[in-house]
Structure 1
Amino acid sequence: MTSITTSDFPQADRLELIVRLVNAIHEGLTSEQDLEEAIGLASEGRQARYYRRAAESINLLELVDRLPLLTPQGKALAVSNSSERGDILRLAIKSNPVFDKMLAYIDEHSPNTRELQEYVARLYPGSAETAGRRTSTLKNYLLQSHLVVNSNDKYEITSYYESTLINELEATARGFEVPSQSSNSGSNNFQKRSVGFIRDPKLRKAIEMQAVNQATKHYLGQGCQVQDVGATHSFDLLVQTPSGQERHVEVKGSQRLIEKCVLTLNEVIHAKQFKETDLILVSNIKAKYDASTISWQTDPGEMRIIKNWVPDAASLESLSYSYSITPDLVRGDREVTI
């Protein structure tokens, strides 16, 4: 059973300001003062913290070494157009366990305001007074995203909720695919499959762990010592061979054939500087949801190893840029449509 904590309850009320925050982080802003200015508020950083934590609660960003970094879902939101933005936000909201339970409750009971507040109070692991304030914020998200409508003090789900369920199932089955230009020569035209964004965070973690576990078993089978350092380093596995050589391993996993993968700047820099780096690609990982354990179960994929991997500049493709604002430029507020 998913454990709900107070951090799952956002304190920031306006979805459009979360979108502005995500855009600002995508553009390279990180300090609380800069982020607060970008979303148009002024509270010496306090509101920026509230909105940052709200974005964390719906899986749009994470805090790494005290810096806000966009998740794949946050990056998808930052580069989305107006027609895509609503779908991405609705999927993000539903990925939060509190919203997921609220939506299921509304779908079944069509509660009034009092009933919904009482339900949230049962979910909230804190005081009833705070639960009341959090209920107001939760309702704002559901109404602003059009997942729910309130008619004559009855909360009911909308057709957007049903389409979100369909999108969620499709994302679970397919993941997020970033196509490249197709080759036009010969009869073997294809679009390259990319390690990209899987919307379900639990499935994404299961795929990552399957790939890392397969890579770990490979090196252990060669008599190496292996340490998982992915949480603290710019690579995933620290390997020491029987001869004493140190090797660094970057691991990528996908449910599809990997012809393309996303690399961070630090991953590229490290692989260029440390020559004993291997790239392991684990493709076609099978995943199945086990309702009895409420978890994803995975089967091994097909593993390919690129020894002494150095990222080739010709194969690297820029996905985002840092843009410096000079004094002669004036930054205007961007209209946000949800």
Structure 2
Amino acid sequence: MVATSDFPQADRLEQVGQVAIAIANGKRADEEIEAAIGLDSDGRQGRYYRHAAEVLGLIVNRHNNAVLTALGKEFASLSSRAARIDFLARCLLETPVFYEALCYIHQHHPNDAQLKRWFRVFYPGAESTADRRFHTFISYLCEAGLLQSSSNKNHVKKYVGSLVKKSITSTRSLTGRNLKKSLPSLPPTAGQGSIRVDVNLQKLERANQIHWQLVDAKSSFLDDRGLEPYANEHIDLYSDNRGDIIIYEMKSVDAEGANFLSQIRKAVSQLYEYRYIYEEPNARLCIVTNHGIAKKDEWLLDYLARDRVIAYEWTDDFANFECRHDAASLLGDFSPCFNGR
């Protein structure tokens, strides 16, 4: 259930991002933030923009003393305007208000009048206030590049995968049946504390924009195939095609491949753990990265496919996925080479 406080009042999304930059540069109070982002209203606009940055998860504020969250720190480290806009788009998708709105737009492709009527019903306050908030709402979607209009219809322009992916409780198997045993907090064969460490590391990794884009892109890929994308607090992404389960582990790698081997090793370990604790011994396993493999590491493809029976995919544009023929045979209908015939 959304509250009126979940709806930002600040008009410009890019300036909301500048709040995080201002705080990274030592500004804390509303008046300081307001001056840093180029506004002058005795702190009133500073409060609006500070609150909007809180809604997007970039900062927390206590007694007019704002500090960056982990997400805010990551945003403040970005150097290009394009990267910051993409990051803010992701933040919008992860807020209840914009997530619900974008789901509605994706499912119904409303025209402008229909979208405004929906928003008036969705907003939990007065209709007159809803109309003002609607102006800000549309402004954010357009600035973030999330909204596209054509033939008098509104469409979601990018990151559809994050709208169609479903979060599922981890208390059951990946097919929804009851587990024979309670889901262990630690895998029986793992060292003390390892699963807790893995989960904490995953939370940090999921704050990574590349990792997030990989999950989004593969979710969109599955949806285009008519397959449901799912995730839980342990597993990046999985799907069930009439009992044929696939578990994905996404890993961000640098262009030079310096961290490739370490990322692959972590992914192999995680995939085997997930298949075991969720009691899916026949599940297909797949590692997905954001760069193709360097020539010096090509031996890993044989190792993964032939020795570990794990498929490997990569994408260079977060839209199209590639894999070798041996990985395609392991992926079956989930293969990016599969054409449905």
- TM normalised by structure 1 equals 0.49
Select the structure that is richer in strand: 1
Where relative contact order (Cα < 8 A, 6+ residues apart) is larger, the structure is 1
Select the structure that is richer in helix: 2
